[in-house]
């Protein structure tokens, strides 16, 4: 298995980060792709990737970070920081640009619509310039995101819609653009949009993730999520697709390694 999106660098893991990684490895997780949120997070990710060969990083400005920027001058400074970080001569190179996108779940997010869309488009251009896959965060804005992606275009490397929450009908439209569809533990909720979408995803576009420490499984609501719990999502996806857990674990790991350009685990 490969956790295609998590935040093991988050402060929630400060007390036991190494132990959480080891628990995940013992559970069969053979790689971790960290979602980028803001400049301090990129630095934490780089330190982790230097210490752990199975940890990989992506840098980007999360829609919440964009919303919190409050004005165009601050956003411009953050975008300049990202541009520099992507090209910095460091031993750790990002495998993707993200997480980026649109989030209309809150009143603040709705008020920052124009700023979010500008940041999204600028970051898409950065990814195209470098042919880096993108990691997309889309909440209650699938239609508008599809419009912008169709108008501006994706990098040739494609990308990932992380923690899919769209309808099954939208799956082929996003997959048709070259985007992989990634499922978190929300798929364990029977009848949810993610659960109903699983069967619609082409095999070579399927990914799994934890988004740890966020999005715990329903039976762990209110607790910290961990990459070690990825197997529950794999098992659910396997059941919904009529396949074995081993087959889904191997398929989604292969897809993630192909998307992010990762070598096979030893």
Taking the mean position of all CA atoms in its chain, how far away is CA 133? 11
Please report whether residue 265 resides in a domain. no
Number of domains into which the chain is organized: 1
**Strand 32-34's sheet: what is its strand order?**
3-6, 32-34, 55-59, 96-103, 134-139, 159-161, 179-183, 206-208
Q: How far apart are CA 76 and CA 102, in angstroms?
A: 17
pLDDT at residue 90, as a whole number: 76
Q: How far apart are CA 85 and CA 146, in angstroms?
A: 27
pLDDT tens for each residue of the chain, 266 residues long: 999 999 999 999 999 999 999 999 999 999 999 999 999 999 999 999 999 999 999 999 999 999 999 889 999 999 999 999 999 887 899 999 999 999 999 999 999 999 999 999 999 999 999 999 999 999 999 999 999 999 999 999 999 999 999 999 999 999 999 999 999 999 999 999 999 999 999 999 999 999 999 999 999 999 999 999 999 999 999 999 999 999 999 999 999 999 999 998 76
**What Å distances lie between residue 240 and 85, 119, 156, 183, CA to CA?**
40, 36, 30, 12
Query: Residue 253 in contact with residue 2, Cβ under 8 Å?
Result: yes
pLDDT at residue 70, as a whole number: 84
Q: How far apart are CA 127 and CA 20, in angstroms?
A: 31
Please report whether residue 152 resides in a domain. yes
Please report whether residue 101 resides in a domain. yes
Stated as kind and residue range, the H or E segment containing 212 is none
- For the entire predicted model, the pTM comes to 0.97
The predicted-structure confidence for 113-148, as pLDDT tens digits, reads as follows: 999 999 999 999 999 999 999 999 999 999 999 999
Is-cis flag, bond preceding 8, omega within 30?
no
Query: Residue 147 in contact with residue 121, Cβ under 8 Å?
Result: no
Q: Pairing relation of β-strands 96-103 and 179-183? A: unpaired
Q: How far apart are CA 191 and CA 87, in angstroms?
A: 43
Closest by CA to 262, choosing from 18, 45, 3, is 3
CATH of the domain at 10: 3.20.20.140
By residue range, what is the domain housing residue 181? 3-260
Please report whether residue 253 resides in a domain. yes
Q: How far apart are CA 192 and CA 186, in angstroms?
A: 8
Phi, psi of 164 (to 5 degrees): -50, 130
Please report whether residue 266 resides in a domain. no
């Amino acid at each position: 298995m490969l956790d295609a999106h998590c935040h093991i660098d988050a402060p929630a893991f400060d007390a036991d980060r190494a132990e959480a990684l080891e628990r995940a490895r013992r559970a069969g997780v053979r790689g971790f792709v960290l979602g980028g949120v803001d400049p301090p997070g990129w630095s934490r990710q780089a330190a982790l990737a230097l210490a752990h060969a199975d940890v990989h990083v992506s840098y980007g400005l999360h829609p919440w970070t964009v919303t919190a920027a409050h004005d165009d001058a601050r956003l411009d400074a953050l975008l300049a920081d990202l541009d520099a970080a992507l090209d910095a001569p460091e031993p750790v190179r990002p495998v993707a640009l993200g997480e980026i996108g649109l989030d209309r779940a809150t009143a603040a997010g709705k008020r920052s619509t124009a700023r979010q869309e500008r940041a999204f488009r600028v970051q898409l251009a950065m990814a195209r310039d470098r042919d880096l896959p993108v990691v997309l965060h889309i909440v209650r804005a699938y239609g508008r995101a599809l419009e912008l992606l169709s108008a501006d275009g994706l990098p040739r490397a494609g990308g990932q819609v992380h923690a899919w929450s769209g309808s099954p009908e939208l799956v082929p439209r996003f997959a048709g653009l070259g985007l992989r569809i990634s499922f978190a533990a929300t798929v364990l909720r029977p009848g949810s949009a993610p659960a109903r979408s699983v069967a619609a995803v082409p095999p070579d576009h399927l990914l799994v993730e934890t988004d740890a420490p966020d999005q715990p499984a329903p039976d762990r609501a209110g607790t910290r999520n961990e990459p070690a719990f990825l197997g529950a999502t794999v098992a659910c996806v396997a059941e919904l697709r009529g396949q074995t857990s081993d087959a889904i674990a191997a398929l989604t790991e292969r897809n993630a390694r192909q998307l992010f350009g990762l070598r096979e685990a030893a």
